[in-house]
Amino acid sequence: MINIPKGTKDVTPKESYKWHYIENTVRSVADNFCVNEIRTPTFEHTELFLRGVGDTTDIVNKEMYTFLDKGERSITLKPEGTAGVARAFIENSIFANPQPTKMYYITPVFRYERPQNGRLREHHQFGVEYFGAESPLADIEVMLIAKSIFDKLGVKNISLNINSIGCPTCRKKYNDALKAFLADNFNNLCGTCRDRFDKNPLRILDCKEESCKKLLTDAPKVIDYLCEDCLEHHNAVCKGLDDLGIDYIINPQIVRGLDYYTRTVFEFISNNIGAQGTVCGGGRYNNLVEQVGGSPCPAVGFGMGLERLIIMLENLGLSLGEQNSVDLYVAPICDKGREIVLKFVTDMRNKGLKVEQDLMARSAKAQMKYANKLNAKYVAILGEEELKDNSCSLKNMQTGENSVIKLDKVFEIIKEGK
């Protein structure tokens, strides 16, 4: 027996309805905001992520699924959704259209991580990318998309944490201040953070190690080091949320794990998932498009982890839709019945009913048992006597009512019964 690779999951036919429910919900909210879907390949040239995600991130340093293909090219399975979208934006000259470009994706994401609840090696993200708009309204709109999804799913206890990490100019001042603050404690930092100290000190704020977290309690806040423009942008984002009455927390610890962020960063955090509380993380990345070879173009977006979203809904006891139902089970129990069953079933399906038939040569009794198991709403029994009169015996499985019905009237009865 060959087992599933560690950190991956099957979605069985019994639970795929949950995914359809989630996917339909996010697609309908995206439609509502006039955001169109973009689909990009599952793998890209490794170089794209080195440049786009940044080589000081955990993703690039430790988590990528990278391999040489048969043509000796270095290929990487998507470790996040944004870099591929940025590449496609440039490569398909989407930038030449009137801006902004509002896009969403639903994609598998691959990261070599230590698997645990809510942390997989293949997970799925719904992501939104707005390219071309510098306005704080764009930052607000993408947050509103995530918020609308949670609202639509009935999630109440989720907290929006926001922060601004400024632009490269203000960040330089901040990095110096943070390094000065941490200098005395350099040796108490974890190995990764000692490494970050020179390469990318801001990322130390993102460290999950308790010892590092403790050292950072009184660390200087990026928000106090913003330049005038970045501060103005940040204040406008906050004002927009205030005007809409949307609750949020300004959380100076939020810096996000990727190098490409500028200005706004945000996370939606839930207490109902377990240790991995962040369902959705995003922000602005004004330098990304240029970094992967395009002309400078502001951008803002987020990624939402769909497995974590499902865990959260389940833990909150919220609906995840319903298993597909069977309207009609057709059970032939005589030769004539078996002769016409396919035609009858096809006719009923063409009329739009969800119809199941016997593919296992079951006995009459076993068919009824099976129809019960399927939770079929109606069962049509094709028996010899009834068929002489072009009729069947139709049983309403909810009421137990049984009546002899002409075959060409079955559809109407079931439709009315719905």
CA 413 to chain centroid: 40
Pick 19 or 95: Cβ nearer ligand ATP? 19
Among 280, 333, 376, 394, binds ligand ATP (CB under 6 A): 280
Number of residues that bind ligand ATP (CB under 6 A): 18
Q: Does 203 bind ligand ATP (CB under 6 A)?
A: no
Residues 6+ apart with CB under 8 A from 118: 273, 274, 275, 276, 305, 307, 308, 311
Among 113, 134, 209, 347, binds ligand ATP (CB under 6 A): 113
Q: Does 278 bind ligand ATP (CB under 6 A)?
A: yes
Separation between Cα atoms, residue 374 and residue 228, nearest integer Å: 64
Residue 277's φ and ψ, nearest 5 degrees, are -85, -15
Residues 6+ apart with CB under 8 A from 56: 196, 199, 200, 203, 259
Q: In angstroms, what is the minimal distance from the CB of 277 to ligand ATP?
A: 8
The mark string for 326-345 relative to ligand ATP (x by CB under 6 A, - otherwise) is: --------------------
Pick 240 or 281: Cβ nearer ligand ATP? 281
Q: Return the range that interacts with ligand ATP (CB under 6 A); candidates 38-46, 93-101, 271-279, 316-324.
A: 271-279
Q: Does 159 bind ligand ATP (CB under 6 A)?
A: no
Contact 59, 53 (CB under 8 A): yes
Residue 92's φ and ψ, nearest 5 degrees, are -95, 15
Pick 294 or 303: Cβ nearer ligand ATP? 303
Q: Which helix (H) or strand (E) holds 175?
A: helix 168-182
DSSP string, 152-169: HHT---EEEEEEE---HH
Among 303, 332, 337, 383, binds ligand ATP (CB under 6 A): 303
Residues 6+ apart with CB under 8 A from 310: 18, 19, 22, 320
Say whether 418 sits in a helix, a strand or coil: coil
Q: Does 279 bind ligand ATP (CB under 6 A)?
A: yes
Say whether 126 sits in a helix, a strand or coil: strand
Q: Which residue from 268, 274, 385 is spatially nearest to 337, judged by alpha carbons?
A: 385
Q: Return the range that interacts with ligand ATP (CB under 6 A); candidates 110-118, 186-194, 315-323, 378-386.
A: 110-118
Query: In the bound complex, which residue of the shown chain has the CB atom lying closest to ligand ATP?
Result: 305
Contact 20, 128 (CB under 8 A): no
Among 18, 52, 80, 129, binds ligand ATP (CB under 6 A): 80
Q: Does 281 bind ligand ATP (CB under 6 A)?
A: yes
Among 120, 138, 237, 380, binds ligand ATP (CB under 6 A): 120
Separation between Cα atoms, residue 391 and residue 374, nearest integer Å: 24
Q: Does 257 bind ligand ATP (CB under 6 A)?
A: yes
Length of the chain measured in residues: 418
Pick 119 or 406: Cβ nearer ligand ATP? 119
Q: Return the range that interacts with ligand ATP (CB under 6 A); candidates 17-25, 150-158, 300-308, 389-397.
A: 300-308
CA 197 to chain centroid: 33
Q: Does 394 bind ligand ATP (CB under 6 A)?
A: no
Separation between Cα atoms, residue 403 and residue 161, nearest integer Å: 60
Separation between Cα atoms, residue 355 and residue 352, nearest integer Å: 9
Pick 113 or 347: Cβ nearer ligand ATP? 113
Q: In angstroms, what is the minimal distance from the CB of 335 to ligand ATP?
A: 55
Q: Return the range that interacts with ligand ATP (CB under 6 A); candidates 114-122, 316-324, 351-359, 391-399.
A: 114-122
Q: Does 54 bind ligand ATP (CB under 6 A)?
A: no
Pick 100 or 118: Cβ nearer ligand ATP? 118
Give the largest CA-CA distance in the chain. Answer: 95
Please report, as ranges, the residues that interact with ligand ATP according to CB under 6 A: 80, 111, 113, 118-120, 123, 125, 257, 276, 278-281, 303, 305, 307-308
